[in-house]
Amino acid sequence: MAVRIRSSFHASGRPRTMAELAGAVSVLAWKLAVEAINRMRQADYDIDIGRPYFDFICEFVVFLAQAADRIAYREFATEQRIEFTTALARRLSELLVENFEDLLGDAMPAAAPGYFLDLFNRRGADYAEFGYDENGPDFGFKRYFAACLREVLPAKDQLWVVDQAMDIESPEALKALEKTLAGLFHLEANKSRRQRDGSSTGE
């Protein structure tokens, strides 16, 4: 089943808050992670319900959140970008609890929100070593993502997941993310740029 991508909001006559933007992106990231799991299962990767599923989702949405942060960096003023990324990480941690506590039970870490936020921060420090510009992530950014996925898969799949992650999963997900954020960020980013440049909004 294809992921339905929300690339814009219905007009409401007011700018969207960073929290609202983060909420929309978090849902997209979640859907893209589930889509990737389904695709990889069809390719005979073993990602079973339980801790493997949980860990895969965590790594995938962290990757997408880090990419979204880089996109926000080039679109927004510093304060807005920080507000957006903070809200995104928190909303993703909430989604983790909302979707997994009934399915995973004891397989889920006792403090899942704290677990996810800690993972987000640790991975963020590592992803920061790599580049991401208007052309997308550099080789190291994608390679690190593949390495993170490799660690959560069984031994039989670890040899093959690097190519799968770098050549299929990350390009598919990032294409959808970039397209969606281009729509979501457009009006707010233009306003942010005018504020950052010190020019009048004309409003």
Region 115-124: mean pLDDT is: 92
Note whether 103 and 40 are within 8 A (CB): no
pLDDT at 21: 93
Contacts 24+ apart (CB under 8 A), 102-111: 103/49, 104/49, 104/50, 104/51, 104/53, 104/54, 107/50, 107/51, 107/54, 108/51, 108/54, 109/54
Q: Which two tokens stand for residue 184?
A: 């979501």
What percentage of residues in the chain have a pLDDT greater than 70?
77
The DSSP output letter for 63 is H
Task: Determine phi and psi for 132, rounding to 5 degrees.
Answer: -155, 110
Chain segment 49-80, per-residue pLDDT in tens: 778 888 899 999 999 999 999 999 988 999 99
pLDDT at 106: 57
For the chain, which residues make up each domain, given as ranges?
18-193
pLDDT at 9: 37
More confident residue, 158 or 190: 158
pLDDT at 52: 83
| pLDDT of 125 above 80 | yes
Confidence band for 105, pLDDT divided at 50, 70 and 90: low
The mean pLDDT of the chain is 82
| pLDDT of 200 above 70 | no
More confident residue, 81 or 49: 81
Least confident of 144-148, 156-160, 166-170: 156-160
Q: Among candidates 178, 144, 150, which has minimal Cα distance to 29?
A: 178
| pLDDT of 119 above 50 | yes
